[in-house]
Structure 1
Amino acid sequence: MGTMAELFAGLLEGVSEAVAESTSLQGNHLLELAVPDDAWRQVLCVTYRLERRADVPANSFRLSAQASTPLPFLVQVMTEDQQLINQVDFNGGPPAAAISGSLTSYNGQILHIRMSLDGNPLVFHLDLGQPASAALSGRLLAFTLASRPLPATPENEQWPRSVTRQAFVLGYEDPVTGQITPPCRTMPPALSSSRVRQAFLDLTNLGIRSPKVFPLLSVPTDGAAAQAFRDALGNVDTDAVVAEMHQGRQLTATRTGSGAYTFRFVPDARYTGPRLLLVETYQLTSVPLSYGPGRVIKTFTLLPGERTTMRVSSYRRSSQSIQSTSSVLDSTSDESEREFEQAVTAEQGNSAESSKSFEYNAQASASAKGSWGWGSASASVSGGISGSNSSARQEFAKNLTSAVGKNAARASARREVTVDTSMDMKLEEGEESAVERTIENINTSRTLNFLFRQMNQEYAAVLHLVDVRVAFFSGHSESREEVPLAELDSLLDRVLNVPRTAEVRRQILDLVGATRDLTGNTHPGFVRTQAPDGTELAPAVDPTYTSDYTTPDGRTITLPGIVTAAERHVMRTDGVTVDAFLGEGQGLDAYSTGLQEQALRAQAADNLLKEREADRLQIALEIARDGDQKRAEAFRTLFMPTQIVNQIDHAAVNTAPVNGKPSS
């Protein structure tokens, strides 16, 4: 059977200028840069906390203000209609505090906080989640002012800030864990069960999302997707949502290949402080290589003269089986891409980094790019980055190729093609019909054997870097700001101290320039710094840059960007090839064999007689066409007509003319 593979190889080689159709999948890999703390721009940050205190009387609350800087500031707590409830003035030294009067008349849930930082105003709203009289009773509301690295870019409106953008509201600080909840999300004391329940009911029944309660959800806007979203929400238990969110987990949604939605809970994000990230966009391209027969899926034998019905059933018969057998290599779908991303996350192995990666990409659902993990360039700006860069990217390439292998193996193992005959065919109710054929063994002495094999397709999975962007991120998805490499200077000027900007800029460009391909070579042309006429430009990724990859079968393929990794994988297909061969043993004795031989001789003699008769007619036609009388007379003499005897009167009737005249 080895000649069958050679046959298919020969057929493929016979196609001149054949171009393999490749498929691609894009995803982002986040590489965290080690920026020193003193490089970040420092601003004044306000945190607040709300905690129950035994020394605070019921129906009143204590307002406290303190600072780690000698800067004086004033805090005023007002109702939504600007009615002053309490205020405190901090002038340095120990915390300043003031006890409020009766809270009975304050039923609003929103506090209006007005601060004056050495004459610089900072105003924001504090959502208590319940009436102020209940939320503040017997509690301490404390505000702390400290100099910190900025929590978001100055233009980010999710963080309240002063007009001068020198002071930011950092958010709620948990008095026990110290975890910070940004002001754009509901602080844990205000996240009551009734509030979560009502927000979930609004989401389920009306399709209205509360971003402060469900910051990681994105509600679809088109009709069909929105309906599917609400249908799936109907299967989520409200009590489970309340319980999970009280344990510090967030509700998220993903869409399957069939268009349906699934929901799950992920750990809530943590404030990490400012970070600079390299957002590397990779493309995974699968290139078809050789194609040929693989495993044997069926063998059966027909006895001499036997007939049977054969049915070939493919794994593509239903939408469910198509989803379960899809792969990122040859039949990508939402289902396979989601499983692939989960496999990449599992390969990463670090739950904290996985959580950061998910949080960063939570609000990027409109992009067609997947989330392919989080890495770290551990070298500082003052040290070398080549080794750290190489290690981080090698680890990423290893994790990704391992995930590709698992995804391909999972899909290939489920690609079952079956061949059944009428002897073992059992149809299930509701099963779609497959291809059916009737085959027969016309031999009378030997069996006819069939060998069915499933066809395999070999692929080269090539990973190549196609783009690099730079991002600011402080742990929550609302803080992210991503810019192309050409706008690097603008981003650094806004978030870093001026003396350190050039240093960090050099680190980032060196990190991008140190990207190595499969052979260990760098590609200086990947980042364009000059125009064709020599004019200096802001560094930017050249979108036209390409590199060549030589496939195992010797073909050269040009791909965008820099090829960083490649692996070969074999996938089962729904193609089936069949080979037939006769059995070696004879099923007839000598007498039966002799009868067959005599029958064959009789058939050959009959065929010879028919050939001669055809030749005679051909000669007659030629004579009639030429009008040659001598040849006609010779023909009549040679081929004397057969006499017809009248059985009634035993008279011989001859239709031949006599002396050139018709006979009577």
Structure 2
Amino acid sequence: MFISLGLKRDVFVGFSGGNAAPNPDPMGIPPVDLKTENGLLKAFLLLGFEPGPDTTPFGFSMPAIFRASAAFRETVDLPGLNVPMPPAVIGQQPPVIKPGMIQNYMALQANFFQMSLAPLQAKLREARVPFTQGGIPAPEDLRPQLFLVEQYQLASFRGDLARDDLVDSISLSPGGSMTYKVIIKKRTSASNELTSTVLDSQDREAKDNFNKQLKDTADKRSGTNNYDYGFEGSFHGEASVEIGGGSADARVHARGSTNEVRQDFAESTTSAIDSQVSETNRSRKQSIETGREDTQTDEQTESVREKTAHNPTAQPVNVGIFLLKEEFVSVLSLVDVEIAYRNGDANQDRQVPLRKLGELLDAVIERPEDRTEIAATIKALLEGIADYQDEIRSIVKPDPSSPLGFSRDAQLRSEYRLLKSDGTLRRTFSVKGIPIRGCERSLRRPNITVELPIAGI
């Protein structure tokens, strides 16, 4: 999982010192709407591109928006943005206007104008001019950014057996007995490896499907634009971390932000587990029925088991025949953290273990004071991780051999306490790292039934 630290652009090497053009209005300006002609013209004017003179050869006035766009395009080093003169006009004095020529020229202008929108948006971002598209805020460009790259482990433990759906019931008189057949039909739908789930299978297709569900959930929460960084992780989130001044309140806010992203990830993981458990139980559902000793079976039958039930009591009893299910407890634990630098250029991507954080900061952060503040903030974030019980845990430890004085605690282990419905302890599991979320689900055990007395009948 990638958690963006939300650092400002100007702390990075190459962006420090105010390289970007100042905001035309220091007090803040309302966003310009690039879906409207007035908004586009205002955008060009704010960037200093005034509409040029009307130079069309047809004797009509070109709209100001096209003339401002032409002035802008002259400064943009992209092929094909200069609007050529229509061939029918070259060398003709006075210009000859043929049918459709004006429409064609205007259409060509409009086409090249659309091509200039992407570089226009880049210039607006550089100049810190806010803009929208039809009132919708534009997505953030891929500014340089640091990320916590958190690695998680999903450990599964087998729990208790329990009864599932009721298949049938039989009545036994006092001291009586009955011999019957349990007939298991073939599966109603073919099972495949995808339905094994990551809970009880390491099949590659099942894991890929699980990761895709996580990615889709992340995109819905944070927007697919975040994936333009080329993340290889399954989930990504945004945490806004303010630096400067060593403010304790800012670090508390940052800690809360990163823990919110972890909780989003945990919820997405639970949702993916639920989806695969549901699919597995569906594929394992079989047609099971009971019958007398003389009941005939057919080619659909998978297996037949003959059983005898006894009633040693002096009272009539009813016996239920149930399918069986087994509890699975999956514990999501944070086990490792690295630091990544991304700026949208894959050739400049960097990702280092926590012990090399200082080297990375030296390479990508301009000012020494910012490096110190960012390192302290990252340390505070990793010392303030909320576990599955909402208790604050640390995944780092003091390390005098590290240049920054801390490193990841590679030996960290934790207990996950599985509780009964009344809050008392049922079982304890030992897991690596810090447990963030537990998920208790049940999977159907195929081909297995159990007979239990039905009380109160």
Which TM-score band applies after superposition, normalised by the shorter structure? 0.5 to 0.7
Question: Once the two structures are superposed, what CA deviation does each residue of 1:376-434 show, in whole Å capped at 9, x if it has no partner?
Answer: 11131233322222322223223322332333233223321333568574536xxxx73
Q: What is aligned with 1:539?
A: 406
Match of 1:360?
A: 230
User: How far 1:301 moved relative to its partner?
Assistant: 9.5
2:14 paired residue number: 42
Mapping for residues 208-219 of structure 1, pairs under 5 Å: none
Tell whether 2:392 aligns with 1:392. Answer: no
Write out per-residue CA displacement over residues 38-91 of structure 1, whole angstroms, 9 at most, x where no aligned residue: 101117999841125333799xxxxxxxxxxxxxxxxxxxxxxxxxxxxxxxxx
Q: Go from structure 1 to structure 2 and tell me whether the alpha carbon gap of 1:520 and 1:413 turns closer, same or farther (over 3 Å shift).
A: same
Q: Deviations over 1:96-129 (max 9, x none)?
A: xxxxxxxxxxxxxxxxxxxxxxxxxxxxxxxxxx
Task: Give the 3 Å change call, closer, same or farther, for CA 502–535 of structure 1 in structure 2.
Answer: closer
Aligned partners of 2:286 and 2:446 also within 8 Å: yes
- For 2:117, the equivalent position in structure 1 comes to 176
Alignment-derived partner of residue 416 in structure 2? 549
Distance 1:283 1:539 in 2: 23
Q: Deviations over 1:452-498 (max 9, x none)?
A: 32211112221111000111112355543211111111111111103
Match of 2:111 in 1: none
CA offsets, 1:582-604, max 9 Å, x none? xxxxxxxxxxxxxxxxxxxxxxx
**Whole-angstrom CA distance in 1 between matches of 2:257 and 2:406:** 22
For 1:290 and 1:464, locate their aligned partners in 2 and report how far apart those are by CA, in whole Å: 22
Aligned to 1:331: 201
Give the Cα separation in 1 of the matches to 2:8 and 2:162: 56
Q: Output the TM-score relative to the length of structure 1.
A: 0.43
The residue correspondences of 1:516-595 to structure 2 (distance < 5 A) are 516-524=386-394, 526-530=395-399, 538-552=405-419, 554-579=426-451
Q: Are 1:380 and 2:409 an aligned pair?
A: no
Distance 1:174 1:493 in 2: 39
- Taking the aligned partners of 2:120 and 2:325, their CA distance within structure 1 comes to 53
Within 5 Å, give how 1:341-360 maps onto structure 2. Answer: 341-348=211-218, 350=220, 353-354=223-224, 356-357=226-227, 360=230
Label 1:335 to 1:426 Cα distance change in 2 as closer, same or farther (>3 A).
Answer: farther
Deviation at 1:294, TM superposition (A): 1.6
Is the partner of 2:206 in helix, strand or coil? Answer: helix
SS in 1 for 2:299: coil
Structure 2 CA distance, aligned partners of 1:441 and 1:515? 55
1:551 maps to a residue whose letter is L
Residue 407 of structure 2 corresponds to residue 435 of structure 1:
no
Distance in 2 (alpha carbons) for counterparts of 1:509 and 1:515: 11
| Structure 1 residues 424 and 300, CA gap change in structure 2 (3 angstroms) | farther
Give secondary structure in 2 for the equivalent of 1:520: coil
Q: 1:536 and 1:484, CA in 2 relative to 1: closer, same or farther beyond 3 A?
A: closer
Gaps of 5+ in 1: 1-28, 59-137, 139-172, 182-268, 365-370, 443-447, 582-664
CA deviation after TM superposition for structure 1 residue 440, in Å: 8.6
What amino acid sits opposite 2:3 in the alignment? L
Distance 1:177 1:32, change over 3 A: same
Q: C-alpha distance in 1, partners of 2:375/2:185?
A: 59
Q: 1:470 aligns with which of 329, 333, 339?
A: 339
Counterpart Cα distance in 1 of 2:228 and 2:272: 17
Q: How far apart in 1 are the matches of 2:263 and 2:309?
A: 59
Q: Distance in 2 between matches of 1:306 and 1:335?
A: 46
Superposition pairs of residues 189-208 of structure 1, within 5 angstroms? none
Deviation, structure 1 residue 502: 1.4
1:55 aligns with 2:84: yes
Tell me the C-alpha RMSD between the 2 structures: 4.3
The residue type paired with residue 50 of structure 1 is: P
Distance 1:334 1:294, change over 3 A: same
Alignment partner, residue 292 of structure 1 = 162
Give the equivalent residue in structure 2 for 1:279.
149
The CA deviation at 1:578 is 3.9
Instruction: Give the TM-score normalised by structure 2.
Output: 0.61
**Structure 2, unaligned stretches of length 5 or more?**
21-74, 88-107, 109-113, 123-138, 245-249, 311-316, 420-424
Query: Distance in 2 between the 1:35 and 1:541 partners?
Result: 22
The 1:47/1:455 distance shift into structure 2, 3 A limit, reads farther
**Equivalent AA in structure 1 for residue 78 of structure 2:** R
Alpha carbons of 1:539 and 1:49: their partners in 2 closer, same or farther (altered >3 Å)? farther
